[in-house]
């Protein structure tokens, strides 16, 4: 058989290609599958964080900001640890981005605070002189769409088996509880309001605190919840 292959270089080349390709797949696929699993301790987005992510997409923040730190010194010196595949396990869609009119935001939760974000979104040049980013003052009065965020969480739980209703990080507590009944939505809303009140107080803006106390979550508070999650 091998003598026949040696006399037919085309089939010999095909055979070598098949063997090398098969060996490569055996080597690559297990590592790829492992890398794509959620990192230990990575939780699904809370309903409030999902609502903020929807605001991020709706207002096209991903058009000017990436969320993908490449493994180069110039990148890690500026933005922090390079991005790992497992960090995106619960992202649908991915917001890697391909353009940086503004800085990468994948680790922004490590170095920006809630009040910084609020001041920045209200008047970018007040904290970043010369910034070309527009102000997003409408976010301070627009009310967050929690119903859509809750529906998204419930959908990814059912369709993609995202592990809501489970103790993901091993702290003995169920991280996010989701169900189909109106009571489940009301419980999720109350939890989102609790999270939102903490963030609103961190912004040091009474108007945001008062809105949350009235049962309305401003879009800016949801967005900050999402940005604070990026670490």
Can you read off the two tokens belonging to residue 64? 């000017």
The DSSP result for 20-33, as a single string, is HHHHHHHHHHHHHH
State residue 175's pLDDT score.
58
Residue 35 pLDDT > 60: no
Report in angstroms the alpha-carbon separations of 173 from 16, 57, 184. 53, 30, 17
Q: What is the rounded distance in angstroms from the CA atom of residue 152 to the CA atom of residue 155?
A: 5
Mean pLDDT of 56-72: 95
Q: pTM of the entire structure?
A: 0.83
CATH of domain 47-229: 1.10.760.10
Q: Which of 2-6, 43-47, 129-133 has the lowest mean pLDDT?
A: 2-6
71-80, pLDDT tens digit by residue? 999 999 999 9
Residue extents of the structural domains in the chain: 2-35, 47-229
pLDDT at 109: 96
pLDDT tens-place string over residues 178-215: 777 888 899 899 999 999 999 999 999 999 999 999 99
Query: What is the DSSP annotation of 116-149?
Result: HHHHHHH-GGGTSTT--PPP-GGGGTSBP-HHHH
Statement: residue 85 has pLDDT above 80: yes
pLDDT at 41: 73
Q: What is the pLDDT of residue 146?
A: 95
With cut-offs at 50, 70 and 90, classify the pLDDT of residue 167: low
Distance in angstroms (rounded) separating the CA atoms of residues 142 and 196? 14
């Amino acid at each position: 058989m091998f003598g026949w292959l040696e006399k037919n270089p085309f089939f010999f080349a095909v055979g070598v290609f098949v063997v090398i390709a098969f060996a490569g797949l055996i080597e690559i696929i297990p590592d790829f599958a492992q890398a794509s699993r959620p990192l230990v301790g990575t939780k699904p987005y809370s309903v409030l964080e999902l609502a903020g992510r929807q605001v991020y997409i709706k207002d096209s923040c991903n058009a000017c900001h990436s969320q993908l730190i490449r493994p180069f010194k110039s990148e890690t010196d500026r933005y922090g640890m390079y991005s790992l595949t497992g960090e995106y396990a619960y992202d649908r869609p991915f917001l890697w981005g391909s353009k940086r009119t503004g800085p990468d935001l994948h680790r922004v939760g490590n170095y920006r605070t809630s009040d910084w974000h609020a001041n920045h979104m209200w008047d970018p040049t007040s904290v970043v002189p010369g910034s070309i980013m527009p102000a997003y003052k409408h976010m301070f009065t627009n009310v967050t769409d929690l119903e859509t965020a809750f529906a998204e969480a419930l959908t990814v739980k059912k369709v993609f088996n995202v592990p809501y209703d489970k103790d993901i990080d091993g702290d003995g507590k169920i991280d996010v509880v989701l169900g189909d009944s109106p009571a489940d939505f009301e419980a999720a809303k109350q939890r989102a309001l609790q999270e939102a009140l903490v963030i609103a107080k961190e912004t040091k803006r009474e108007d945001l605190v008062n809105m949350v106390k009235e049962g309305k979550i401003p879009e800016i508070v949801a967005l900050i919840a999402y940005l604070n999650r990026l670490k």
